């Protein structure tokens, strides 16, 4: 990360994060915007990204309302890639335990099998989505062990004994967050994704979550937004993703 000190105080920062993909995240305090601080920070971040030879893209994002930041990204060579919606359920304690479709069941806390099962279902469920790339078991292992996550918040749905949907959550009471929800394309349209989502939110509420949030691609091709709305979630804001081709 880089901090930008002015007049003895820090008025801007930029963080370069690289795991399975590269992202830039930063900001400048309002009184020091349009004074070249953001441009300097962005140049540093792009330089850091270019120093990683394996990278072909770097991503950055901000609120849909921050048109000044959008201009900065474009001046720095980024192009708009996608819009995401932030959605929230404000009363998960009211969600009843779901009735599961015939032939289906769910489990969490899969022990040594969690990483392999989650990786497999994730990669089947997200094929055809924007910016899809197969997730490795190593990357999934890191995701499953993020602060607030863990095996007890990794939920898998089964159809006739086979894993066909996966929901990964994390809780930092009083808040909860759904990291990902994936359903095998062959199992969609049967109510399994909705049952798994509701089951996950019931379990999160039992662990202290009073508000549950998630982010979803506004152009999701599988009807995910309608699914979340059926579960009682509403859109509260949106943010824009920009990408820079490093090749």
Q: Is 26 exposed, middle or buried (0-12, 13-18, 19+ CB in 10 A)?
A: buried
Q: How confident is the model at residue 76 (pLDDT cuts 50, 70, 90)?
A: very high
Residue with tokens 């062959």: 186
pLDDT at 117: 93
Describe the crossing of helices 67-75 and 37-50 by its angle, rounded to 10 degrees. 50
Distance CA(143)–CA(150), nearest Å, equals 9
Q: How confident is the model at residue 48 (pLDDT cuts 50, 70, 90)?
A: confident
Q: Could you tell me if 178 and 213 are in contact, meaning their C-beta atoms sit under 8 angstroms apart?
A: yes
pLDDT in tens, 170-215: 999 899 999 999 999 999 999 999 999 999 999 999 999 999 999 9
In the chain, count H helices and then E strands.
6, 11
pLDDT at 214: 97
Predicted TM-score (pTM) of this structure: 0.87
Q: Could you tell me if 149 and 118 are in contact, meaning their C-beta atoms sit under 8 angstroms apart?
A: no
User: Pairing between strand 211-217 and 175-183?
Assistant: parallel
- 11 pLDDT above the threshold of 60: no
Q: Could you tell me if 142 and 19 are in contact, meaning their C-beta atoms sit under 8 angstroms apart?
A: yes
Q: What is the mean pLDDT of the chain?
A: 89
Distance CA(38)–CA(29), nearest Å, equals 10
Q: Could you tell me if 202 and 89 are in contact, meaning their C-beta atoms sit under 8 angstroms apart?
A: no
Q: How confident is the model at residue 74 (pLDDT cuts 50, 70, 90)?
A: very high
- 68 pLDDT above the threshold of 60: yes
Higher pLDDT, 12 or 210: 210
Q: Could you tell me if 239 and 61 are in contact, meaning their C-beta atoms sit under 8 angstroms apart?
A: yes
């Amino acid at each position: 990360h880089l901090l930008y000190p002015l007049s003895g105080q820090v008025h801007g920062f930029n963080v370069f994060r690289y795991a399975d993909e590269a992202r830039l995240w930063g900001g400048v305090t309002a009184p020091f915007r349009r004074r070249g601080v953001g441009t300097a920070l962005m140049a540093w971040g792009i330089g850091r990204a270019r120093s990683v030879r394996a990278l072909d893209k770097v991503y950055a994002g901000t609120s849909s309302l921050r048109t000044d930041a959008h201009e900065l990204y474009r001046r720095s060579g980024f192009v708009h890639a996608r819009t995401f919606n932030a959605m929230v359920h404000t009363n998960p304690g009211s969600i009843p335990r779901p009735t599961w479709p015939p032939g289906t069941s769910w489990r969490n806390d899969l022990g040594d099998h969690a990483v392999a099962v989650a990786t497999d279902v994730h990669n089947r469920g997200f094929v055809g989505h924007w910016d899809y790339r197969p997730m490795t078991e190593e990357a999934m292992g890191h995701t499953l062990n993020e602060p607030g996550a863990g095996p007890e918040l990794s939920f898998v749905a089964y159809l006739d004994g086979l894993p066909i949907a996966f929901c990964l959550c994390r809780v930092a009471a009083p808040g909860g967050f759904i990291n990902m929800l994936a359903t095998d394309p062959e199992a969609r349209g049967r109510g399994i994704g909705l049952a798994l989502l509701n089951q996950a939110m019931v379990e999160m509420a039992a662990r202290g979550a009073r508000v549950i949030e998630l982010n979803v691609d506004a152009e999701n091709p599988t009807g995910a937004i309608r699914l979340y709305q059926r579960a009682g979630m509403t859109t509260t804001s949106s943010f824009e993703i920009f990408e820079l081709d490093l090749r």
